[in-house]
Amino acid sequence: MAPRTKNQYEKIRESKKALILRSALDLFAKEGYHSTSITHIADRAKISKGLLYNYFESKEELLKEIINQGLKSISVMMDPDQDGIITTGEMRNMIDEMFHILTEHKLFWMLYFAIITQPDVMTIAGEKVEEFLNQTIQMLIAYFRARGSDNPVADAYLFGALLDGISFNYLISSRDYPLENVKNRIVELFVK
């Protein structure tokens, strides 16, 4: 058998890193950040604790990476051309995608809400979360201003609060939640 190439080693490394991140996300979301140890994460990933430390220096670094990856994907979804402007088409797509990722990535959203409601955990990943929220609010203000809103600041915060509230309520009672109807109403109110 031929020795592995550098490319093969890189793929193995990326695969292990993704496995560790998925394991940490699952545990942080379901059991809580403080209740999860590096040993639990290594056990869930079926790797040694020492190997985990080859990928991440600490539990804090794992949390930051999970949040960074999640916020980055949301940012790209909100502003696909990364020009800092949300067009009407991008807003419609963003709403569709937000509702889609809410159903497909429940664990991330469970973790997100756990982080923002725990000040001591928020201090770990809070800088990226606050930066993301500030950029989002600024883009939403510009969106509502361009649509002729009398109060674009209030509309931006209202829109954000609605999405947060919908997400939180969906996570609590996903079986009975009329998600598609709510999404359609959000589109009627904020896009058309």
DSSP per residue, 98-145: HHHHHHH-HHHHHHHHHHHT-HHHHHHHHHHHHHHHHHHHHHHHHHHH
For 113-130, write each residue's pLDDT tens digit.
888 888 888 888 778 888
Cα separation, 100 vs 94, in Å, equals 10
User: Is the same domain home to 155 and 177?
Assistant: yes
d(CA 70, CA 28): 14
Question: Does residue 144 sit in the same domain as residue 164?
Answer: yes
pLDDT score of 1 more than 70: no
Residues 10 and 94 in one domain: no
The pLDDT of residue 148: 95
Rounded Cα distance between 147 and 192, Å, is 10
Q: Which residues contact 157 (CB under 8 A, 6 or more apart)?
A: 137
Phi/psi of residue 45, each to 5°?
-80, -5
Candidates 37, 24, 98, 30; CA nearest to 68 is 24
Pick the residue with more confidence: 9 or 1?
A: 9
Q: Are residues 94 and 185 in the same domain?
A: yes
pLDDT at residue 71, as a whole number: 85
127 shares its domain with 169: yes
Block residue for tokens 């939640």: 177
Do residues 67 and 79 both lie within one domain? Answer: yes
Single out the residue in 39, 56, 73 at which a domain terminates.
56
Last residue of a domain, one of 56, 72, 95: 56
Same domain? For 128 and 43 the reply is: no
Last residue of a domain, one of 37, 56, 75: 56
- Do 31 and 75 lie in one domain? The reply is no
Do 8 and 87 lie in one domain? The reply is no
What pLDDT does 4 receive? 74
What residue type is 44 in one-letter code? R
Range of the domain at 51: 1-56
Same domain, 42 and 68: no
Residues recorded for the chain: 192
Same domain for 77 and 161, yes or no, is: yes
The predicted pLDDT at position 157 comes to 96
Q: How many domains does the chain have?
A: 2
